[in-house]
Structure 1
Amino acid sequence: MSGPIGALFGRGIGGLPPATPLDFAALRLPPSPNTCLAAPPGGHAQAHITVPPLPVDAATAWPALRALGDGLPRVFRYGEWPERRQAQWVARTPLMNYPDIVTAELVPGPAGAGLFLYSRSLFGWSDLGVNRRRVEAWLAALEAALRRR
């Protein structure tokens, strides 16, 4: 089953089209409030959250970034492009099983890696702040993982 019905009734990444990398430079956020974008300083004009440079370079941060969704309930790896240092996950909502897509990418920077982190709902208009809370939680988890390394 594919399309919207398959996406709703699928498990994990089931029912979703194949993952494709996201071009953050070309990204235009939708008018709906059901997204949250975190970006490095000056990284995106529509960013909701500015992420200071990470305390390590992109190559060092990549393993921690890849592991962000591991072990989280209802979160499944969707796609990965190591050459871009970009990974995607599907996060399914508990009640309705809606698939949200989370995309993260590391970019080189002079003071440490820059991070893009984008969480978006595929269905509906409002998410009641779920995507912003997810981005904030994942940012905190990455910061903690980098401190432990």
Structure 2
Amino acid sequence: MSAPIASLFSSGTGGLPAATPLDFRALRLPSSPNTCLAATAGAHPEAQITIPPLPVDADAAWPVLLRVGDAQPRHFRYGQWPERRQAQWVARTPLMNWPDIVTAELIPGGPHSGLLLYSRSLFGHSDLGTNRRRVEAWLAALDAALRRR
């Protein structure tokens, strides 16, 4: 069974190749409408959602970001690179178990930090807005968690 097909019958991160960090500087969004990229102003030229800087530095935001990602329904930690302050999760869709990938990276910036948050489908052309809704939910959860900290 090929890896893409196996991933549909797996759970969590099963059936997927090993995670590798995403180079956001080289990221070019596909023409398909099955991705969503949110970024702090100026952090990425193709961001579909522009967000303000986070109110805390990257060191303080990192553990909060990991907790927020781990708390999302049907999300499974896929990989993390603390030196880059980047982590990835596999998000499984509820009906078909499709594996989507969510990548978050903090950008150090003094007392504040920037954020790149990218959600993408591994299969299909259209996601009917799923990745955008996922990114918006993450942003709301991260904002709430940072305010509580």
Same fold (TM over 0.5): yes
Q: 1:30-45, aligned counterparts within 5 Å?
A: 30-45=30-45
Moved over 6 A (4+): none
Within 5 Å, which residues of 2 pair with 1:53-92?
53-92=53-92
Aligned alpha-carbon RMSD (Å): 1.1
User: For residues 19 and 106 of structure 2, what CA distance do their matches in structure 1 show?
Assistant: 18
Give unpaired runs (5+ residues) of structure 1: none
1:47 aligns with 2:47: yes
Alignment partner of 1:109 is 2:96: no
Matched AA of 1:49: I
Q: Distance in 1 between matches of 2:73 and 2:141?
A: 15
Letter in 2 for 1:42: G
% of aligned pairs identical?
76
Alignment of 1:122 with 2:119, yes or no, is: no
Unmatched 5+ residue regions in structure 2?
A: none
Residue 72 of structure 1, CA deviation = 2.8
TM-score of the pair, normalised by structure 1: 0.96
More helix by share: 2
Separation (CA, whole Å) in 1 of partners of 2:106 and 2:139: 13
- 2:144: which partner in 1? 144
- 1:69 counterpart SS class: helix
123-132 or 65-74, which deviates more: 65-74
- Deviation, 1:122, is 0.1
Counterpart of 2:131 in structure 1 is 131
Structure 1 equivalent of residue 8 of structure 2:
8
Distance across 2 between alignment mates of 1:110 and 1:71: 27
